[in-house]
């Protein structure tokens, strides 16, 4: 679909303003938001990833592409928030310590909101103590951790240890995800669940919380 290609191309160009306009246009035209995210924005980000890997672009281009993508997600997010206030569960989400990637985490947040969860987003570079404090303060049912760097996978393990140490493991389920994370890694770090993308993140969370 032409508008989805245009969204993808403008994520690659890093034009946040145009991406926001196109996403709004696609929504007005009745395109489903899952398609806007996957066939528009994520497609553009995949091109950026490939170009970075091949040394065709550098950090600034990646950064502006992510900013453009987040501008598109900002348009989608309010549409996903449920109008009623009876939440199906509470989720604390964040990107682990030393990792600054937030696009995938933001998509997971949006999908959780859309499924009726109350979401507490701690942002990026979140320390184990911050996860523990937020989970305790908000009585979280689920802690969702994202990482995009192989180097920061051990920080997931460290966070899970801190959650266990704080005595929260029995009442809170833990999910991990992000491009380098697999089922095996999820098991190794001691998570309860893993999902490869934001749609399946919600499905898996519901299974873990006995909501299906």
Q: How far is the CB of 57 from ligand B12 (least distance, A)?
A: 9
Strand partners, 118: 90
Position 45 contacts ligand B12 (CB under 6 A): yes
Position 62 contacts ligand B12 (CB under 6 A): yes
Task: Using CB under 6 A, pick the residue from 17, 32, 180, 187 that binds ligand B12.
Answer: 180
Q: How far is the CB of 124 from ligand B12 (least distance, A)?
A: 7
- Residues sharing a CB contact under 8 Å with residue 189, sequence separation 6 or more, in sequence order: 153, 154, 156, 157, 160, 176
Q: How far is the CB of 11 from ligand B12 (least distance, A)?
A: 10
- Residues sharing a CB contact under 8 Å with residue 119, sequence separation 6 or more, in sequence order: 90, 91, 93, 109, 112, 113
Task: Using CB under 6 A, pick the residue from 5, 27, 52, 138 that binds ligand B12.
Answer: 52
Position 176 contacts ligand B12 (CB under 6 A): yes
Question: Is the distance from CB of 8 to CB of 30 less than 8 angstroms?
Answer: no
Q: How far is the CB of 50 from ligand B12 (least distance, A)?
A: 7
Position 198 contacts ligand B12 (CB under 6 A): yes
Structure tokens at 102: 């937030």
Q: How far is the CB of 150 from ligand B12 (least distance, A)?
A: 4
- Residues sharing a CB contact under 8 Å with residue 68, sequence separation 6 or more, in sequence order: 10, 11, 13, 14, 15, 16, 18, 19, 44
**In 14-152, which ranges are continuous DSSP H helix?**
16-28, 33-35, 43-53, 59-80, 103-114, 128-138
Question: Is the distance from CB of 26 to CB of 4 less than 8 angstroms?
Answer: yes
With respect to ligand B12, which residue has the nearer C-beta, 22 or 175?
A: 175
Position 163 contacts ligand B12 (CB under 6 A): no
With respect to ligand B12, which residue has the nearer C-beta, 86 or 164?
A: 164
CA dihedral of 76, 135, 163, 150, whole degrees rounded to 10: 20
Position 7 contacts ligand B12 (CB under 6 A): no
Site for ligand B12 in 100-139 (CB under 6 A): 100-105, 107-108
DSSP 83: S
Position 144 contacts ligand B12 (CB under 6 A): yes
> Residues interacting with ligand B12, by CB under 6 A?
42, 45-46, 48-49, 52-53, 59, 62-63, 65-66, 98-105, 107-108, 144-146, 148-151, 175-180, 195, 197-198, 201
């Amino acid at each position: 679909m032409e508008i989805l290609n245009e969204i993808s191309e403008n994520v690659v160009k890093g034009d946040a303003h145009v991406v926001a306009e196109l996403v709004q246009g696609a929504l007005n035209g009745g395109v489903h938001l899952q398609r806007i995210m996957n066939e528009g924005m994520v497609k553009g980000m995949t091109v950026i990833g490939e170009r970075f890997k091949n040394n065709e672009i550098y950090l600034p281009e990646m950064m502006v592409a992510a900013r453009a993508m987040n501008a598109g997600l900002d348009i989608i997010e309010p549409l996903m928030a449920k109008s009623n206030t009876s939440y199906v569960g509470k989720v604390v989400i964040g990107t682990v310590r030393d990792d600054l990637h937030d696009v995938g985490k933001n998509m997971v947040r949006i999908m959780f909101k859309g499924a009726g969860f109350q979401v507490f987003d701690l942002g990026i570079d979140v320390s184990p103590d911050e996860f523990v404090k937020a989970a305790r303060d908000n009585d979280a049912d689920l802690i969702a951790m994202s990482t995009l760097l192989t180097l920061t996978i051990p920080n997931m393990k460290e966070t899970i240890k801190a959650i266990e140490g704080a005595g929260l493991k029995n009442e809170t389920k833990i999910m991990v995800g992000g491009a380098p994370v697999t089922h095996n890694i999820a098991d190794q770090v001691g998570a309860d669940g893993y999902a490869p993308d934001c749609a399946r993140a919600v499905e898996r969370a519901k299974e873990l919380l006995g909501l299906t």
